[in-house]
Structure 1
Amino acid sequence: MTVVSVSMPEELLERIDRFAEDHGYTGRSEVVRESARNLLGEFEDASLEDRELMAVVTVLFNYETTSVEERMMRLRHEHERLVASNFHSHVGAHYCMELFVLEGRLEEISSFVGKIRATQDTLSVDYSVMPVDEFGPVTPE
């Protein structure tokens, strides 16, 4: 097996070590391998390909890290056709939450989420995706 060197904050490494111990993993390498498989596989759901999708993406960051907020605004403008709605809220004393509602294809949504995840200093990125065509036609009562 190939050895890969990865840089990460000490706090994240400590969380990985605690997670490995608490969940019976043999060590941090096993946790990182499983995480990588999950990340790479999450947008490979064939049932979502070639369908119109809706996604909700939630980003949490420390507002004192202004580069994150600026990056979120740039991404919103760069993906104007994909972003149906955007909501910004203050959470607690030092944090902000950015919520994006997206409408588009899997590849576009995957790319957008990837760019957000790649943004330095985000604390949390969470999302959900669902096909729009599952709602079905609206029937009057």
Structure 2
Amino acid sequence: MGVVSISMPDELEERIDEFGEDHGYTGRSEIVREAVRNLLNEFEDKRLEDRDLMAIVTVLFDFETTSVEEKMMHLRHDHEELVVSNFHSHVGNHYCMELFVLEGQLEEISTFVGKIRATKDTVSVDYSVHPVDDISLLS
């Protein structure tokens, strides 16, 4: 088994240690391996392949980090064929929320979400994906 070294803020390291203790993990490596497996498998759902999908992506960031807002603007323009709608809102005293509505294929949505997750200084990135042809089944 290979060894991978990673750097992370002390706060995140402490959260990983607490999580491991609370959930019975034997160490940080076990937690990180599981997280990586989950991330890699996240967009490999065979039920979603080759279907038109709708996705909602929500990004939370500190409003003082203008680099995040600028990155969101560039992503919106770079993926204008995927982004159906975009909404920006202030949340509390220090945060902004960026909401994207996407319509496209799994690979395109995965790439978009990956670019957002790779953006430094985001507080959180959440999303949901649903096949467009299943929407009529919800009513």
Residue of structure 2 equivalent to 1:84: 84
Residue of structure 2 equivalent to 1:124: 124
1:1-141 to structure 2, matched below 5 A, reads 1-136=1-136
Q: SS state of the match for residue 135, structure 1?
A: helix
Task: Give 5+ residue unaligned stretches, structure 2.
Answer: none
Shift of 1:28: 1.0
What TM-score, normalized by structure 2, do the two folds share?
0.96
Q: How big is each residue's C-alpha offset from its partner over 1:50-83, in whole Å with a ceiling of 9 and x where there is no partner?
A: 1000000010100101100000010000000100
When the two structures are aligned, how many residues end up with a matched partner? 137
Q: Which runs of 4+ in 1 moved over 3 A?
A: none
Shift of 1:7: 1.1
Shift of 1:136: 3.3
Structure having the larger proportion of residues in helix: 2
What TM-score, normalized by structure 1, do the two folds share?
0.95
Task: Give 5+ residue unaligned stretches, structure 1.
Answer: none
Aligned-residue identity in percent: 77
Shift of 1:2: 1.0
Alignment RMSD: 1.0
Distance in 1 (CA, whole Å) between partners of 2:72 and 2:97 is: 11
